[in-house]
Chain A
Amino acid sequence: MWLQFSRTLKTAVKNFRRNGWLAIATISVLMISVFIINLQISIVGARDLLLSDIKNRVNISVYFTPEASESDVKKAEEDFGKYQEVEKIEYISKEQALEDFNKEYAENEILLKSLEEIGDNPFTATLNIKAGNPRDYELIATMIKGSVYQEAIDTVNYDKHRDVINSLGAEIESSRKTAVGLAITLGVVAILITFNTVRLTMYSHSREIEIMRLVGASNNFIRMPYIWEGLFYGLISVTIALPISYFYLKFLTQEGASGTALPFANAVYIQQFLDTVFLENILYIIPAEIGVGILLGVVSSFIAIGRYLREKKGR
């Protein structure tokens, strides 16, 4: 067993060295496949970051009438918070609103002066509501307007933003589908390219396989060197493609490079994806990618070699 193991490994290393160009060509194609898959993963990842960022910025504000008491607003906060569509609800009191305004416009004297002229606090209590899903804002707005607090509510700014929010919801949904669809398609294409490349490589070994059979090699003995070879291909191509993918994306997101260099993803989010998701999980990503590369190489070899091992059929 050990003899077979070491012997087939040795044969594989020799094959690899003696078929230098073929090995380089195969590895290059595999590298490109891995590179494309990595790019796709990054794009989808960056998109997710972008979308969650947008989602976090969207909300609807419920403005209460000046007459509404603080306890009413607090109760409304509690009740609205019970809607399952609502993810987060934030209460901003009159005083808080005034303070925020003063802070934000501290350098705008005209505005601050005109506020002084009014004398009273012109702001009203507000509830900022965030939905788990942007599509649910309409429902939430309707429920709020139909609630027992309708008397105390002045406006719900959903109506003003209705179109933006609605189209955003649809946009997020469809562009996510597009990105994932594209990623899957390209992933499948990359796998097919890999498989086909390995198959061609194995074709170049068909004479060798025939001779191995003739001298009485068992199928396992014939298969092993090529499985090793597939393993090398996967290992080497991933090892090279992973840093290339990283630095390529890094380069794209540098200042001066176009901000929309990649479809469906903005440079800022690619950058964010690389710095957070990628680097934080690097210890999982490296072995996972190498594992996938090896698996791809080995499975391709295994399937490709199979056709040369079948007995010739007659009647």
Chain B
Amino acid sequence: MIECKNVSKIYYGDVPALENVSFKIEDKEFVNIIGASGAGKSTLIRLLHGEEKPSSGEILFEGEDIVECKRSKICQHRRSIGIVFQDFKLLLKKTVFENVAFAMEVSGKTDEEIDEDVPKVLEIVGLEGLEEKYPNEISGGEQQRVAIARALVNKPRVLIADEPTGNLDPEASWEVLDSLIKINKYGTTVILATHNKDIVDKVEKRVIILEKGKIVSDQAVGRYNLKNNE
């Protein structure tokens, strides 16, 4: 469903952030992307999400090249991908419910649909009862699950998580991981970029290792195994 063909990204300067990266992700897969800081994980995610365009190469999403997409098409592409970040990126002046509802408003859903779907997705991530709280009134783990709920509410085909446990303690990290595994079981493709060795080893899924912008390993059931053990 997602295919990168010889994707390179060079920012200003000569060092490429990504160099000739090629891989394929099938429907309903759970893929870990690991690598040291600066290995190119975040760049790859921004490219997959359509926030940036690669310097060269193709990125196919369900057969369509998103590099060539028009701006309006990119917005639609983003709606079919849920995304979660290390710093949650919640709107602090909106409640939990509003934060999740926001993603539905953006995609033009009616108020009735919003009232129906938001509680359901909050239940999936275990946040029922916190609807009226503001982000700073709940824990980091709960905030990240709000972000996951927001990413899920538009029923995306793919969920991308960029270091989702980076700011969380181990217990909260497990909760987030549980949510991701559950979502994957329901049929959503999950791409998890992480530093967290315990998590990668526990999920026992495909692992792509990036080093200095290149893919150095791609194993169907891999473990967290970086050369310099970062």
Q: Do A and B bind each other?
A: yes
Residues of A within 8 A of B (CB): 3-4, 7, 11, 15, 18-19, 207-208, 210-219, 221, 311-312, 314-315
Given A217-B106, A219-B71, A314-B12, 20 more pairs with CB closer than 8 A? A3-B108, A4-B108, A15-B93, A19-B93, A207-B89, A212-B106, A214-B51, A215-B79, A215-B150, A216-B75, A216-B107, A218-B75, A221-B106, A311-B51, A311-B52, A312-B51, A314-B9, A314-B53, A315-B11, A315-B55
Number of A-B contacts (CB under 8 A): 65
Q: How far apart are A4's CB and chain B's nearest CB, in angstroms?
A: 7
Whether B52 pairs with A215 at a CB distance below 8 angstroms is no
**Contact partner of B110 among A3, A212, A221, A314, CB < 8 A?**
A3
**Contact partner of A215 among B55, B72, B93, B102, CB < 8 A?**
B102
Cα(A219)–Cα(B75), bound, Å: 9
Cα(A216)–Cα(B110), bound, Å: 16
Whether A216 pairs with B102 at a CB distance below 8 angstroms is no
- Among all A-B residue pairs, the 3 with the closest Cβ atoms: A216-B78, A216-B79, A217-B106
Chain B residue with minimal CB distance to A211? B89
Whether B106 pairs with A216 at a CB distance below 8 angstroms is yes
Whether A315 pairs with B79 at a CB distance below 8 angstroms is no
**Contact partner of A210 among B71, B89, B107, B154, CB < 8 A?**
B89
Residue of B55, B108, B150 most packed against chain A (CB within 10 A): B108
B138 within 8 Å of A (CB atoms): no
Chain A residue with minimal CB distance to B80? A216
**Contact partner of B52 among A15, A217, A314, CB < 8 A?**
A314
Whether A314 pairs with B11 at a CB distance below 8 angstroms is yes
B83 within 8 Å of A (CB atoms): yes
Task: Indicate whether A7 sits within 8 Å of B105 (C-beta atoms), given known contacts A215-B150, A315-B10, A315-B11.
Answer: yes
- Residues of chain A contacted by B91 (CB below 8 angstroms): 207-208, 211
Using a CB-CB cutoff of 8 Å, which residues 51-86 of chain B contact chain A? 51-53, 55, 71-72, 75-79, 83
Using a CB-CB cutoff of 8 Å, which residues 145-160 of chain B contact chain A? 150, 154
- Residues of chain A contacted by B77 (CB below 8 angstroms): 216
Chain B residue with minimal CB distance to A214? B83
Chain A residue with minimal CB distance to B11? A314
Task: Indicate whether A214 sits within 8 Å of B78 (C-beta atoms), given known contacts A3-B108, A4-B108, A208-B91.
Answer: yes
B118 within 8 Å of A (CB atoms): no
Cα(A207)–Cα(B105), bound, Å: 18
B103 within 8 Å of A (CB atoms): yes
- Residues of chain B contacted by A215 (CB below 8 angstroms): 78-79, 102-103, 106-107, 150, 154
Q: How far apart are A17's CB and chain B's nearest CB, in angstroms?
A: 10
Chain A residue with minimal CB distance to B47? A314
Per-position contact with A for B1-27: 1 when CB-CB < 8 Å, else 0? 000000001111000000000000000
Interface pairs (22), CB distance under 8 Å: A11-B105, A15-B93, A18-B93, A19-B93, A207-B89, A211-B89, A211-B102, A212-B102, A214-B78, A214-B89, A215-B106, A216-B76, A216-B78, A216-B103, A216-B107, A216-B154, A218-B75, A219-B71, A311-B53, A312-B52, A314-B11, A314-B53
- Residues of chain B contacted by A212 (CB below 8 angstroms): 102, 106
- Residues of chain B contacted by A211 (CB below 8 angstroms): 89-91, 102
Residue of B9, B10, B75 most packed against chain A (CB within 10 A): B75
- Residues of chain A contacted by B105 (CB below 8 angstroms): 7, 11
Chain B residue with minimal CB distance to A314? B11
Task: Indicate whether A314 sits within 8 Å of B76 (C-beta atoms), given known contacts A19-B93, A208-B91, A216-B107.
Answer: no
